[in-house]
Every structure is written in structure tokens, then in C-alpha cells.
Amino acid sequence: MRSFRCSCRVDPGLMSVSAALFLVLVGVSAGAWVYDGELDSSWSGNGLATWGDPGTVTTGRGIAMQCDGKILVAGVTNVGGDPSDLMVARFNSDGSLDTSFASAGIFTISPQSFGAAGWDVAVQPDEKIVVVGYSAQALSGTSFLVVRLTAAGVLDTSFSGDGIQIFNFGSHARAHAVEIQDDGGIVVVGETLNQTAIAVARLTLSGELDATFDTDGLATFDFIFGDDKGWDVVVQDDGRILVVGSASVGVDTVFVVLRLLTDGSLDTSFGSGAGGVAAVDFGTDSLGRAIALQPDGRMVVAGVTGNPTAMAVARLTSAGILDSSFSGDGKAIFDLNPGQETALDVAMMGDGRIIVVGSLTFDGFNYLALVRFSADGDLDLSFGGGTGWVPYLEDGAFGRGLVIQPVDRKVVASGFVENSVTEVFMKVIRVTGDGNLIFAADFECGNTDVWSTSVP
């Protein structure tokens, strides 16, 4: 496992600080050249798009890109008043809200009396939009919430009759991620709160629970000690499902990656113990939060490890074994000293390089951050003007979702800035990428395959 540790002090009034400092050190004017990771001024004028009202709370979480380049962000807002609503925003390619979508670019809904929240979003080949999160009710608590919208941003009544599906696993539950299968099946991953188990559901194209998946469309995976959570999901070309999350193993918590067969059972050919589960231990409490597939079948998982808190990234072979060609033992840590770093989403550049989004905290200030790794697990010093990482936005910023545009390889990240407990604004940034890339991971857009670096 390779660790990257450095002592840093950042002026909270600056953006892209590490790269700016690098330019000063080498004696280059900041306006003389554009480095990978610089805020893109063609996005909302300064690389930053913001939505929310003063005195309200709006957060951006999951992110997806449509075939036409428009960007979707799922999250939560109480702009319309309490309780909170599940929210989806759509942005044009220039960072402006797409006023042709829903109501002036924003869709909100709270199907039950105690509010709702959005966590992730995916786009079907027919351009319909699937959003997942949770809905809350006084007696039943929280349940998985799945909403499908038409391309215009209105509820799709061909899905579960009214565009909304709410269900749980016999206990309180929350959905965190969604993936669309090639056959239209909708895979949703999250957690059950009473059982504290990883929860996986599959819905049919029409929005009903799929009885061919674990007999009732619902599967849970409990690793005995409790506090197990599912955070992200991808579907392989052969239909097998990869779920990343965390599992408690007594006094410690580890990354876990589950591989499920198409019927919802564990794939016993996967993992070092051939039981369908791969565990990655970074030595102290570790939470797996995101997964991306490489074209060769290897997978990259990202998250956080504690004490001290740091970004954690691992690469596994297609069989679920740590890949020793990555950082020597399959694991890499990015740690600023002092500071706290978290990785919450990951994407592949297509040439083996890896980019993660999350947060950096040091000197009492918190920034949305991007970090890029080379294919062998080193920091990619071609990113951020020679550092491999860049912090963005003012104090109180948190990164959540990540996509990479297919044509120009620009990176779009979602998150939010927390001015106070009662005032939070959604933020979406776009930064320059590596325009020298010829292709990246295969991304299906409608019925046409195009090249993209977005998470599969």
C-alpha cells in the first residue's frame, strides 16, 4: 500500500490553490497556460454552477450525463419548505439550468409526510431518468424511493403506475445508488437500518420488484457484526452485479465488494475466499464508497480510511483479488498532514488513470477536491499543475459525484457548500481534463456506443 502524505497550508479565499502555488514556485504566470484540473470558464462563466435559496438547504449528490451532454444532479432541498424534497437538477452544457426540464430546470418531490432525499441518478437508453434515495413516513420510517421521469422531467406513469416506487426490506431502509442493466432492469443498492445490512433490489422496466432476483426482488447481506452498508453498484457486461460498501468485522470496518449472479445470489467464483465477497482492509476503519470498472475487467474502489482520515483507493482483479501491479499491494492512500480526506466517487480515464472526488479538510477549512492517480497507483503529477490534486471552492465545500465528458474529457463534479447548518447551496464544477486522450471507457448512449470516461 502506497501512502502520499504532505504538510500543507491553504488560503481559504483561493480556489485551485495547489496548482496556483506550483505556478508561482516555477515562475510561470497563472494565465500563461491551462493545466489539467483548472476551473473551466465556459461552464457558468467561472467553472462553478450554484443553485439554492438563502436560508435553505440544497445538496448535490449523484451525477449523470445525458447523450446530449446535459448534466443531471440528484440531491435534496428544502427550498419549497420543510420537510425536505428529493431534487433533480438539469444543466445545459454551458452550466446554466435547463429551463425545458421540469420546473425551470428543477424537479422536486416528497411522496410521504416526513420528507424525501435523492442520492443517485441514472439515464436509461430511452432517455428516461431514474432517481433513487429515500422517503420518510411517521410510522414506517424510511424506505427505498425510486422515481422515474421522462426526458422532459415529469413523472413517468408507465413506471409503477405513477412514476414512483416505495418499498423497504422489512425494516427502515435507504437507497444510495442505481444502475441500469442492458435489459432495462434497474438495480438499486443501499442499507437496511434495523438489520444494518447491505440491501440490493432489482426492479423491472415497468417499476415492479423483479421476482427473478432472489425470488422477491430484494436481497440483503449481513456480515454478523452489523453496521453494513451498500454505497455503489456497477453491472458487468455479462450481467453480474458488483456492489461496494462497508462491513463491520468486530472492532474494525473494511471495504467490501460483493459480486452477485443475475439471480441475486453471491458469485462464489469471486473473492480471495471464493465466497462472492472481497474484503479490503486498510488497517483501520475503512468505508468503501464508490466503484468503477476498467475495460479489462479489473475494478477500482474508493472511499475513506480512518485514524488519520485519508482517501483510500484499491484495485482488484476481475476475480476479486487485490492487484499487486497497483501500488505494490493493490492499495493506495492519499493523506494530507494535517487534514482529513474522503473519496466519495471514482471514474476511469480510459488509459488506466483514476480520478476521485471527495473532500479535503485542513487548517480548519473544508474543500471539494479532485485527486488523480496513475495506472500504477502513484499520484498523477500531470494533474493540478504538478501536484496530482486540486482543492476547490471556499470553506465548507464537499464533493459527492463525478462524471467525465466523452469528447473533451472535462471533469464535472457535484457537491455543496455549507455556509451554516441552515444554509447550504448545491455546487457543480467543471474542470479541464486530458484532451490528449483518444478514447476511454465504453459508455452506452441510447442505442449507440460512444466513448466516454463516465463511471460505467
Which tens digit of pLDDT belongs to each residue from 332-343? 999 987 778 999
Looking at residue 139, its pLDDT comes to 67
The helix/strand count (H/E) of the chain reads as 1, 31
Q: Region 216-245: what's the mean pLDDT?
A: 93
219: left (phi over 0), alpha (psi -120 to 50) or beta: beta
Looking at residue 336, its pLDDT comes to 83
- Confidence at 21, pLDDT banded by 50, 70, 90: very low
Write down the pTM of the prediction: 0.89
Residue 21 φ/ψ, nearest 5 degrees: -65, -40
Neighbouring CB atoms inside 10 A of 409's CB total 19
Q: Is the peptide bond before 125 cis (omega within 30 degrees of 0)?
A: no
Provide the terminal-to-terminal Cα distance of the chain, rounded to the nearest Å. Answer: 26
The grid cell for 363 is 487548517
pLDDT at 22 over 50: no
Q: Rg for the chain (alpha carbons), in Å?
A: 20
Summarised one tens digit per residue, pLDDT across range 190-212 is 999 876 899 999 999 999 999 99
Please state, in angstroms and rounded to a whole number, the distance separating the CA atoms of residues 430 and 40: 6
- Look over the chain and give the mean of its residue pLDDT values, rounded to a whole number: 87
Residue 204 to residues 210, 261, 273, 341, Cα–Cα distance (Å): 5, 16, 32, 38
> Taking a C-beta distance cutoff of 8 angstroms, is the pair 366, 13 a contact?
no
What does the chain come to in residues?
A: 456
With H, G, I as helix, E, B as strand and everything else as coil, classify residue 138: coil
% of the chain residues with pLDDT over 90? 72
Please state, in angstroms and rounded to a whole number, the distance separating the CA atoms of residues 296 and 165: 35
With H, G, I as helix, E, B as strand and everything else as coil, classify residue 448: strand
pLDDT at 8 over 90: no
Query: Cell 492512500 belongs to which residue?
Result: 333
Q: Region 54-71: what's the mean pLDDT?
A: 96
What residue type is 379 in one-letter code? L
pLDDT at 128 over 50: yes
Q: Region 266-281: what's the mean pLDDT?
A: 92
Q: Establish how many alpha carbons lie within 13 A of residue 13's alpha carbon, considering only the half-sphere containing its beta carbon.
A: 0
Please state, in angstroms and rounded to a whole number, the distance separating the CA atoms of residues 353 and 359: 20
Please state, in angstroms and rounded to a whole number, the distance separating the CA atoms of residues 296 and 348: 12
Looking at the DSSP bridge assignments, the partners of residue 174 are: 191
With H, G, I as helix, E, B as strand and everything else as coil, classify residue 83: coil
Higher pLDDT, 454 or 421: 421
Looking at residue 381, its pLDDT comes to 95
Please state, in angstroms and rounded to a whole number, the distance separating the CA atoms of residues 315 and 301: 6
In the sheet with 164-167, reading across from the earlier edge strand, the strands are: 116-123, 129-137, 141-149, 164-167
> Taking a C-beta distance cutoff of 8 angstroms, is the pair 59, 80 a contact?
no
The grid cell for 12 is 481559504
pLDDT at 421 over 90: no
